[in-house]
Structure 1
Amino acid sequence: MPRTPAPEQCAELTPTSSPLPELDADVVVVTAGTDASGALALAEDALVIDRASGGALRAALERGGYRAVWAAQRFVNLPGTPFGSVLVVGTGPENGRETGPVGGDPDAPRVTLRERRHALAAGLAGLTGGRVAVSSGGAWDALLVEAAALATYRYDRYSERPRPAELLVSCARLPHEEDLAELSSRLRSVCFARDWVNLPGGHKRPEASTALLLEEAGRSGVEARVWTAEELTALGAGGLVGVGQGSAEPARLVRLTAHGTDGGPPLVLIGKGLTYDAGGVNLKTTWLEHMKLDMGGAAACAGAVFRSGRRPRGRTVVAWIALAENVMSATSYLTGDVLRMHAGTSVEVTNTDAEGRLALADAMSIADTGDAAALLTVAPP
Structure 2
Amino acid sequence: MTALTLSTAGAATLRADALVVGVAKSGKTLVVAPGAEAVDKAFDGRLATVLETLGASGSEGEAIKLPAPAGLKAPVVLAVGLGTAPEDGESYGAETLRRAAGTAARTLTGSKKAAFALPIVSAEDTAAVAEGALLGAYAYNAYKAAPDAKADKDAKKPLAEVALLGAKPRDKAYKAAAERAQAVAEEMNRARDLINMPPNDLYPESFAAAVTAAGKEHGLKVQVLDEKALEKGGYGGILGVGKGAVRGPRLVRIAYTHPKAEKTLALVGKGITYDSGGISLKPAGHNETMKCDMSGAAAVFAAVVAASRIGLAVNVTGWLALAENMPSGSATRPGDVLRMYSGKTVEVLNTDAEGRLVLADALTKASEEHPDAIVDVATLTGAMVLALGDRTFGIMANDDDYRTAIHEIAEEVGEQSWPMPLPADLRKSMDSPTADMANMGVRMGGGLVAGLFLQEFVGEGITWAHLDIAGPAFHEGAPYGYTPKGGTGSSVRTLVKLAELTAAGEL
- TM-score normalised per structure 1: 0.89
Question: 2:62, 2:181 → 1: CA distance?
Answer: 28
Contact 1:31 1:120 in 2 (8 A): no
Question: What is the Cα deviation at residue 18 of structure 1?
Answer: 1.0
Matched, 1:57 2:38: no
CA distance in 1, matches of 2:117, 2:331: 55
Q: Secondary structure at the match of 2:361?
A: helix
Comparing 370-379 with 217-226, which one deviates more in the overlay? 370-379
Which of residues 85, 88, 93 is equivalent to 1:112?
Answer: 93
For 2:9, the equivalent position in structure 1 comes to 18
CA distance in 2, matches of 1:313, 1:58: 44
**Cross-structure match for 1:173:** 168
Q: CA deviation at 1:142?
A: 1.7
Give the corresponding residue for 2:441: none
The gaps in structure 2 that reach 5 residues or longer are: 148-155, 380-469, 471-507
8 A contact 1:57–1:78 mirrored in 2: no
1:48 aligned to 27, 35, 38, which one? 38
The one of 83, 100, 104 equivalent to 1:92 is: 83
Cα pair distance change 1:245/1:215, threshold 3 Å:
same
Q: 5 Å matches for 1:259-274?
A: 259-262=257-260, 264-274=262-272
Using the TM superposition, give the Cα deviation of residue 203 of structure 1 relative to its aligned residue in structure 2, in angstroms.
0.9
Would the alpha carbon gap of residues 172 and 69 (structure 1) be closer, same or farther in structure 2, given more than 3 Å must change?
closer
> In structure 2, what is the equivalent of residue 310 of structure 1?
309
2-side partners of 1:122 and 1:172: how far apart? 19
**How far did 1:53 drift?**
2.6
Number of aligned pairs?
A: 361
Shift of 1:56: 4.6
Report if the CA contact (8 A) 2:254-2:301 is conserved.
yes
Q: Return the offset for 1:341.
A: 0.6
**Match status 1:156 vs 2:141:** yes
**How big is the shift at 1:135?**
2.6
> Matches of 1:315 and 1:297 in 2, distance apart?
21
Secondary structure of the corresponding residue to residue 289 of structure 2: helix
> What is the alpha-carbon distance in structure 2 between the residues aligned to residue 148 and residue 193 of structure 1?
17
Counterparts of 1:253 and 1:172 in 2: how far apart (Å)?
A: 43
Q: Report the equivalent of 2:325.
A: 326
For 2:360, the aligned partner's letter is A
Is this contact kept in 2: 1:217–1:224, CA < 8 A? yes
Cα distance in 2, alignment partners of residues 282 and 375 from structure 1: 30
**Contact persistence 1:265–1:371 (CA under 8 A):** no
The C-alpha deviation readout for 1:37-73, integer Å capped at 9, x for no partner, is x321221134431113313523321222322222122
Hey, what's the Cα distance between the residues in 2 that align with 1:181 and 1:68?
A: 30
Q: Is the 8 A contact 2:131 2:181 kept in 1?
A: yes
For 1:362 and 1:352, how far apart are their aligned partners in 2? 16
Query: Deviation per CA, 1:103-124, whole angstroms, max 9, x where unpaired?
Result: x8x9xxx843431331221221
The residue identity in structure 1 corresponding to 2:160 is: A
Preserved contact between residue 251 and residue 324 of structure 1 (Cα < 8 Å):
yes
Q: How much identity, in percent, do the aligned residues show?
A: 33
In structure 2, the CA distance between the partners of 1:166 and 1:263, relative to structure 1 (3 Å rule), is closer
Shift of 1:172: 5.4
AA of the residue aligned to 1:156: N
**Per the alignment, in what secondary structure is the counterpart of residue 200 of structure 2?**
helix
Do the aligned residues in 2 keep the contact of 1:13 with 1:168 (CA within 8 Å)? yes
Q: Unaligned 5+ residue runs, structure 1? A: 1-7
Kindly provide the amino acid, as one letter, of the partner of residue 112 in structure 2.
Answer: G
After superposing the two structures, state which structure 1 stretch, 159-168 or 310-319, moved more.
Answer: 310-319
- C-alpha separation between the residues in 2 aligned to 1:42 and 1:369? 56
CA-to-aligned-CA distance 1:199-240 (integer Å, 9 cap, x gap): 111110111111111111110110011111221122221111
CA distance in 1, matches of 2:329, 2:96: 52
Bigger mean CA offset, 314-323 vs 362-371: 362-371
Q: Contact (CA 8 Å) 1:100, 1:112: kept in 2 or not? A: no
| TM-aligned CA deviation for residue 370 of structure 1 | 4.8
Is 1:27–2:18 an aligned residue pair?
A: yes
Question: Are the equivalent residues in 1 in contact too, given 2:336–2:347 (CA < 8 A)?
Answer: yes
Taking structure 1 as reference, are residues 191 and 367 closer, same or farther at Cα in structure 2, changes over 3 Å only? same
- Cα distance between partner residues in 1 of 2:93 and 2:232: 55
Counterparts of 1:357-376 in structure 2 under 5 Å?
357-376=356-375
Instruction: Kindly state the Cα deviation for residue 178 of structure 1 after the two structures are TM-superposed.
Output: 4.8
What pairs with 1:1-381 in structure 2 (closer than 5 Å)? Answer: 8=1, 11-36=2-27, 38-80=28-70, 81-93=72-84, 99-101=86-88, 111-128=92-109, 129-135=111-117, 137-140=120-123, 141-159=126-144, 160=147, 161-171=156-166, 173-174=168-169, 175-176=171-172, 178-262=176-260, 264-285=262-283, 286-380=285-379, 381=470
Asked if the contact 1:31–1:116 (Cα under 8 Å) also holds between the matched residues in 2, the reply is: no
Determine the C-alpha separation between the residues in 2 that align with 1:61 and 1:332.
61
Q: Map Cα deviations across residues 285-306 of structure 1 (whole Å, 9 max, x no partner).
A: 2231211111111111111111
Q: Distance in 2 between matches of 1:325 and 1:349?
A: 16
- 2:51 aligned partner, one-letter code: L
Measured at CA, do residues 172 and 305 of structure 1 come closer, stay the same or move farther in structure 2, by a change above 3 Å? closer
Query: Equivalents in 1 of 2:62, 2:312: separation in Å?
Result: 41
Give 1:332's aligned amino acid: A
User: How big is the alpha-carbon RMSD for the aligned residues of Structure 1 and Structure 2?
Assistant: 2.0
